[in-house]
A and B are shown apart, each in its own frame.
Chain A
Amino acid sequence: MTTKKPATEMQSQLLEVSQESALTQKLRRTIAWNLVRSTIHKSRFRFGLVLILSVFFWTSVFCLFYESFVFIDSMHAEVMSLLFNTFFSALMVMMIFSTGILMYGGLYRSEESKFLLTCPLRAEAIYTHKFIEALWFSSWGFILLGSPMLIAYGMVRDAPWSFFAMLLPFMVAFVFIPASLGSILCMLVVAGLPRLRLHTFSVFFAAATFTVIWLAWSTFGSTQSQALTPAWFEETLSRLAMTEQVFLPSWWLSSGLLDAALRNESRELTRQSTFEALKFLGLIIANAMLLSLMASGVARWTYRKGYSNLEAEIPCNRHRKIFWLDELLAHGGSIHGNPIRLLLVKDLQVFRRDVTQWSQFVIFFGLLALYFYNLQSFDYSNAYASLIGHLNLAVVGLILSTFTTRFVFPSISLEGRRFWILGLLPIHRDQIIWSKFLFSFGGGLIPCLGLIALSDSMLGLEQKTICVHLACCVALCGGLSGIAVGMGACMPDFREASPAKIAAGFGGTVSLVLSAMFIIFVVITVGLTSHLNLLQNAGERLPDYPILWLIGGSGGVAASLVIITASGLLATFAPIFLGIRAFRHLEP
């Protein structure tokens, strides 16, 4: 018995390419609209905050670039091309990798792709659907950073209107190139080397990281001349010349933008420059389209096969022995172990086995360590070094606050789904909160103290200032952990399984804002007194306000330390006690 329908009849039941495209477009539009509507309806505060902060960020970046371009335009006009090339080529490399990783998650590891693969859709339609999602995620940073930069450039150079009109097409067309390259790379790796995919990705990632570090090092770190001198600039610029290769899409973009921004005295010459810019735009669009077409072809031939190969991989069932550190932490000094210590070990094991958590931790703190280590390349005056030291303290605090909000804040909510395990154990609920706090505090304190010590020693700060910064770091770690754990216990979300979504909710936003306010308070309090004290001791003339002399005196520094200690204790224990009170009466 055969039930196979004739080919012509079958074809009429299947969607045309344009229909598939229209269907997935409509899907994305509906989801986006529902998302915006429900966000405005449910989280007005968060939506408003994101909007205001985005506008603030955009305006700040615009002002920064505007001032920088005014400076560069007057001093080193010829540097512009090199800076654009460096900026766009670095972005291009980053986007290739970020899109590749996003596409791997979207195409091969998401529940949506699993669902779509059981529907009568072409492989390339599913690819395009996921590509647009990945493109948005990997390029919004470029648009947010690039648009104020380029608008500022156009205004400084008094560019013709056509420059501003061409900005968006240039940027949008450009992002398709690295994004398509990343997608092709991802699909070929999965289809060709499924069993080695982790190793391949690891090798690629490690190679890219080392290349970037090596380039940064060879460009800025090992110059022969003294930093920030004309000779240093010359040397650095000659090293950056490698980004000016004519076959690089980043060169097409920067050349097109520079041509578009030219305003000549003669209208004919201006028109000629605009025409040149249009030629570069055409070149970028043509390449973007070609690469999109190639990526679509690769998807057609490899996506379903690659997905099947990955599905057929044997999961890694490595036998995990008890780690000596876990054993020591849990049972060191006692046979049965303390409940808090056992809970701590449980969180430590989860953290170690969650690559998302520790890899972000390593990347961000690693990059900070690299930056701090490179601070020794520059010569600073004492006042300038002190200022940078305070800013570095703020940066460490802000990075730590993103981790506490992203990973520590949702940890109480995530216990909700398995609360019956903890709920049935013979432990007090308070111990769960304290274990979360100790985990966050201990985990944050060690790297943060190390980073601050590194930064201050590279800047050559005095012992006294280093001690003050380390004290601030302890207060920051305690306060930020207390806020994240306390707010997490006060405002848990037991229905949500995704930590990212819990952190992005109202409670997470409040926690982040409180953390930012606490950091600003601590850094300004200690920064103001220490900095004024330094200026006073160096015999610098301060404005004639007695309050400045008072704050900058030794008494002022001591008072600031007392204030920071008090505020650190308050930020640590007030949210914790509020959280404990809420958690005791919780019914998940």
Chain B
Amino acid sequence: MIQFENATRNYGKKIAVSGLNLTIPSGELFALLGPNGAGKTTTIKMLVGLLRPSHGVVRVCGHDLVTETRSAHSRLGYVPDEPYLYDKLTGNEFLRFIAGMYRIPQHLIQSHIDREISRFELHEFADDLAENYSLGMRQRLIFAAAFLHDPDVLVLDEPMVGLDPRSVRIVKDLLKKKTAEGLTVFMSTHTLAMAEEMADRMGIMIQGKIHFLGTVSELREQVDIETTNLEDLYLKITSIPTTDQINSPDNK
């Protein structure tokens, strides 16, 4: 459902993403991890069509993001790290606009909107202007908008920022349910626990290249370290020594 074929993106002479080859099939939740500046944001920007690859191709449901942009976008839902809402639209009006954009049939629009309002518990503020929303409310509305047209692919950039524990639980349950139904999820996050709990597969990106691709158990097998903690595994693979390692007798 998502295909990166030798996707490369450079900023001037600096290569942000280098020859990325990655296929994420239908029904998989993929987590992209990596330190700051590793190329995660560039990868997501290529996936949602904001950046064109310098070389290679990015496809969503078989549609090239450069030559078949609209077809690819029609199958995509996107939750950015800093969601954009029209301040002078109410939540309801925003959802109606999104429904129109994805050409949901007129007779189904209200039922789709009601479904998302109920799912993300937006009742209390759905008729208020978005300028009065807190970060959590905005994030919930963006999730509702992303799920409104039943996308085949969902792209999430730090999705849990600003959400309260109850909303986090709602989102997690929904992602599990939808991936079981065939939704492909591409998630970029720094929250390792979230990736460990949710991801079918994960990729660790360092300096524009995927250094590890696989499941958490595969990562444990690959990294020569006596721990089961993902944080330690991650730090080992990204070569950032922990305080304990720095203070260990071996280092003195």
Pair from one complex: yes
B4-29 Cβ-contact flags toward A at 8 Å (1 or 0):
00000111101000000000011000
A296-309 Cβ-contact flags toward B at 8 Å (1 or 0):
00000000110110
On whether the beta carbons of A120 and B70 are closer than 8 Å, the reply is yes
On whether the beta carbons of B88 and A312 are closer than 8 Å, the reply is no
Check if A14 is an interface residue, CB within 8 A of chain B: yes
Check if B186 is an interface residue, CB within 8 A of chain A: no
On whether the beta carbons of A4 and B63 are closer than 8 Å, the reply is yes
Query: What are 16 A-B contacts with C-beta separation under 8 Å?
Result: A5-B61, A23-B100, A30-B93, A31-B86, A31-B88, A111-B82, A111-B84, A115-B84, A118-B50, A120-B74, A304-B52, A308-B51, A311-B45, A312-B51, A312-B54, A314-B14
Q: Which residues of B contact A414 (CB under 8 A)?
A: none
On whether the beta carbons of B71 and A14 are closer than 8 Å, the reply is yes
A311-B50, A311-B51, A312-B11 given; name 6 further pairs at CB < 8 Å: A13-B74, A14-B71, A112-B84, A117-B50, A119-B73, A305-B52
Q: Which residues of A contact B63 (CB under 8 A)?
A: 4, 10
Question: Of A112, A117, A311, A312, which contacts B10 at CB under 8 A?
Answer: A312
On whether the beta carbons of B73 and A120 are closer than 8 Å, the reply is yes
Q: Complex Cα distance A405/B152, Å? A: 50
Known: A31-B86, A118-B73. A2 touches B62 (CB 8 A): yes
Check if B101 is an interface residue, CB within 8 A of chain A: yes
B-to-A contact residues, CB < 8 Å: 1, 9-12, 14, 25-26, 45, 48-52, 54, 61-63, 69-71, 73-74, 76, 78, 80, 82, 84, 86, 88-90, 93, 97, 100-103, 129, 152
Q: Which residues of B contact A34 (CB under 8 A)?
A: 88-90, 93, 129
Q: Complex Cα distance A311/B89, Å? A: 28
A1-33 Cβ-contact flags toward B at 8 Å (1 or 0):
111110000100111000100010011001100
Known: A3-B152, A121-B70. A114 touches B9 (CB 8 A): no
Check if A313 is an interface residue, CB within 8 A of chain B: yes
Check if A38 is an interface residue, CB within 8 A of chain B: yes
Q: Which residues of A contact B82 (CB under 8 A)?
A: 111
Q: Complex Cα distance A14/B49, Å? A: 17
On whether the beta carbons of A312 and B50 are closer than 8 Å, the reply is no
Q: Which residues of A contact B50 (CB under 8 A)?
A: 114, 117-118, 307-308, 311
Q: Look across to chain B and name the residue whose beta carbon is closest to the beta carbon of A115.
A: B84
> What is the distance, in angstroms, from A308's C-beta to the closest C-beta of chain B?
4
> What is the distance, in angstroms, from B37's C-beta to the closest C-beta of chain A?
12
Question: Of B1, B9, B100, which contacts A3 at CB under 8 A?
Answer: B1
On whether the beta carbons of B61 and A27 are closer than 8 Å, the reply is no
Q: Look across to chain B and name the residue whose beta carbon is closest to the beta carbon of A36.
A: B88
> What is the distance, in angstroms, from B216's C-beta to the closest C-beta of chain A?
25
On whether the beta carbons of A14 and B103 are closer than 8 Å, the reply is yes
Q: Which residues of B contact A15 (CB under 8 A)?
A: 100-101, 103
Check if A228 is an interface residue, CB within 8 A of chain B: no
On whether the beta carbons of B103 and A314 are closer than 8 Å, the reply is no
Q: Complex Cα distance A19/B76, Å? A: 20
Known: A31-B89, A122-B70. A4 touches B51 (CB 8 A): no
> What is the distance, in angstroms, from A111's C-beta to the closest C-beta of chain B?
5
> What is the distance, in angstroms, from A27's C-beta to the closest C-beta of chain B?
6
The 4 closest A-B pairs by CB, nearest first: A4-B62, A120-B73, A115-B84, A120-B74
Most buried by B among A19, A115, A118: A118
Q: Which residues of A contact B71 (CB under 8 A)?
A: 5, 10, 14, 120
Known: A118-B76, A120-B101. A35 touches B70 (CB 8 A): no
> What is the distance, in angstroms, from B227's C-beta to the closest C-beta of chain A?
36
Known: A120-B102, A308-B50. A314 touches B26 (CB 8 A): no
Q: Which residues of B contact A10 (CB under 8 A)?
A: 63, 71, 74
Q: Which residues of A contact B48 (CB under 8 A)?
A: 118
Q: Complex Cα distance A314/B48, Å? A: 20
> What is the distance, in angstroms, from A586's C-beta to the closest C-beta of chain B?
21
Q: Which residues of A contact B152 (CB under 8 A)?
A: 3
Q: Which residues of A contact B90 (CB under 8 A)?
A: 34
A20-76 residues at the B interface, CB under 8 angstroms: 23, 26-27, 30-31, 34-35, 38
On whether the beta carbons of B103 and A4 are closer than 8 Å, the reply is no
Most buried by B among A23, A114, A115, A120: A120
On whether the beta carbons of B62 and A117 are closer than 8 Å, the reply is no
Q: Look across to chain B and name the residue whose beta carbon is closest to the beta carbon of A311.
A: B51
Q: Complex Cα distance A10/B102, Å? A: 11
On whether the beta carbons of B12 and A314 are closer than 8 Å, the reply is yes
A550-568 Cβ-contact flags toward B at 8 Å (1 or 0):
0000000000000000000
Q: Complex Cα distance A31/B131, Å? A: 12
Known: A30-B93, A308-B50. A119 touches B101 (CB 8 A): yes
Q: Which residues of A contact B74 (CB under 8 A)?
A: 10, 13-14, 120
On whether the beta carbons of B97 and A27 are closer than 8 Å, the reply is yes
On whether the beta carbons of A308 and B52 are closer than 8 Å, the reply is yes
> What is the distance, in angstroms, from A60's C-beta to the closest C-beta of chain B?
32
Q: Look across to chain A and name the residue whose beta carbon is closest to the beta carbon of B1.
A: A3
On whether the beta carbons of B78 and A118 are closer than 8 Å, the reply is yes
Q: Which residues of A contact B93 (CB under 8 A)?
A: 30, 34
A112-136 residues at the B interface, CB under 8 angstroms: 112, 114-115, 117-122
On whether the beta carbons of A23 and B61 are closer than 8 Å, the reply is no
Q: Complex Cα distance A115/B78, Å? A: 9
> What is the distance, in angstroms, from B116's C-beta to the closest C-beta of chain A?
17
Q: Complex Cα distance A31/B93, Å? A: 10
> What is the distance, in angstroms, from A90's C-beta to the closest C-beta of chain B?
34
> What is the distance, in angstroms, from B16's C-beta to the closest C-beta of chain A?
8
> What is the distance, in angstroms, from A433's C-beta to the closest C-beta of chain B?
29
Question: Of A3, A5, A19, A117, which contacts B26 at CB under 8 A?
Answer: A3
Q: Complex Cα distance A140/B247, Å? A: 67
On whether the beta carbons of A117 and B70 are closer than 8 Å, the reply is no
Q: Complex Cα distance A118/B70, Å? A: 9
Q: Which residues of B contact A112 (CB under 8 A)?
A: 84, 86
Question: Of A3, A13, A117, A311, which contacts B103 at CB under 8 A?
Answer: A13
On whether the beta carbons of A38 and B129 are closer than 8 Å, the reply is yes
Question: Of B80, B88, B97, which contacts A35 at CB under 8 A?
Answer: B88
> What is the distance, in angstroms, from A404's C-beta to the closest C-beta of chain B?
26
